[in-house]
Amino acid sequence: MKKIGFIGLGVMGGSIVKHFLKHGYEVFVYNRTQAKAAPYLAIGAKGCATPTEVANASEIIFTMVGFPQDVEEVYFGSHGIFQGDVAGKYLVDLTTSTPSLAQKIFVKGVERFAHVLDAPVSGGDLGAQKGTLTIMVGGIEEDYAALQKEFAVFGKTINYQGVAGSGQHTKMANQIMIAGTMTGMTELLVYANAAGLDVEKVLATVGGGSAANWSLSNYAPRILQGDYTPGFFVKHFVKDLKIALEEAKKLGLDLPATAQAEALYEKLENEGYGNDGTQSLIKLYWPEGIAPVSKK
């Protein structure tokens, strides 16, 4: 059984670590806020003081942190992964980051005789908890094939997308789609409530037709329950949409719907909801987070 290193114990990373432990892997963990590692140490994970220490102890190192600058620090910092022994090891970044940074990590990894994959995921907190995440992989195809067993521990749909950076490009396409479903789901709720309809009945109806989508079935019920805990943070979605728009610009593309979604989420973040779940977009319309009584 291979030794797993895991850096980043957030909403999704922590659940992935639990899956590896349940499957009998020896798991070495690091988190910038060390107190967050305590629950995982209590169930068998081994704590490390730095990413370098994780790299030295592990055969496969997964990283899942917040922002591209965090990825940069974890890999290239003074106590980063590349300060350790990575020859012959697999380095897999699950963070949603930039394609250019994925390529930079790949080039450095090749210089150090490591196998590098960018493998951002989709499925939110529920997908991580259930072990059913979608994993989008870029890098060398043989390296992707070598980690099928490990990817299957926490993923259900696992596909190779192409050379280094391709996983991140695929995740951008994913986030562009989600931007549309989240804004559509939000405006559906606002409209149905203002029209005096039974919103739960509307959801049951449209969710059984061509309007059905993941956001509608997973986030609309949370909104109606007043649950804004993060399956995915607003601040991270703003980051993702900014990356998507920057990459689109490099490709000579204009994505007005995505740009509008990014503006709405950035407004939401500026109003203090950056640490809420993405379903809190409804608060731009329902400031109390609950549906106002319809005046119709």
Closest CA to 241 of 150, 172, 291, 145: 172
- Give the residue from 162, 181, 209 where a domain finishes: 162
Quickly list DSSP for 160-224.
EEESTTHHHHHHHHHHHHHHHHHHHHHHHHHHHHHTT--HHHHHHHHTTTTT--HHHHHHHHHHH
- pLDDT confidence band for 206 (50 / 70 / 90): very high
Answer yes or no: do 181 and 112 share one domain.
no
Query: Does the pLDDT at position 155 exceed 80?
Result: yes
pLDDT confidence of residue 296: 67
* Mean pLDDT of all residues in 128-134: 97
Q: Tens digits of per-residue pLDDT, 244-288?
A: 999 999 999 999 999 999 999 999 999 999 999 999 999 999 999
Q: How many CA atoms lie within 13 A of 133 on its CB side?
A: 26
Rg (CA), the chain: 20
Number of domains observed in the structure of the chain: 2
pLDDT confidence of residue 271: 97
pLDDT confidence of residue 293: 85
What is the extent of the structural domain holding 33?
Answer: 3-162
Q: What are the catalytic residues?
A: 171
Share of the chain above pLDDT 90, in %: 95
- pLDDT confidence band for 295 (50 / 70 / 90): confident
Answer yes or no: do 158 and 175 share one domain.
no
Answer yes or no: do 107 and 201 share one domain.
no
Q: How many residues does the chain have?
A: 296
Answer yes or no: do 21 and 59 share one domain.
yes
The model scores a pTM over 0.85: yes
Q: Residue written as tokens 């703003």?
A: 238
Answer yes or no: do 9 and 156 share one domain.
yes
- Which tokens in the block code for residue 71? 């990825």
- Give the residue from 145, 162, 179 where a domain finishes: 162
Residue 93, H or E segment: strand 90-93
pLDDT confidence of residue 278: 97
Q: Look at residue 231 and tell me if it is in a domain.
A: yes
Answer yes or no: do 51 and 138 share one domain.
yes
Query: Does the pLDDT at position 294 exceed 90?
Result: no
Q: Tens digits of per-residue pLDDT, 32-47?
A: 998 999 999 999 999 9
Answer yes or no: do 126 and 202 share one domain.
no
Q: Look at residue 290 and tell me if it is in a domain.
A: no
> Are the C-beta atoms of residues 106 and 139 closer than 8 Å to each other?
yes
Q: Look at residue 239 and tell me if it is in a domain.
A: yes
Q: Tens digits of per-residue pLDDT, 53-109?
A: 999 999 999 999 999 999 999 999 999 999 999 999 999 999 999 999 999 999 999
Answer yes or no: do 109 and 192 share one domain.
no
Separation in Å, CA 5 to CA 54, 89, 196: 6, 11, 52
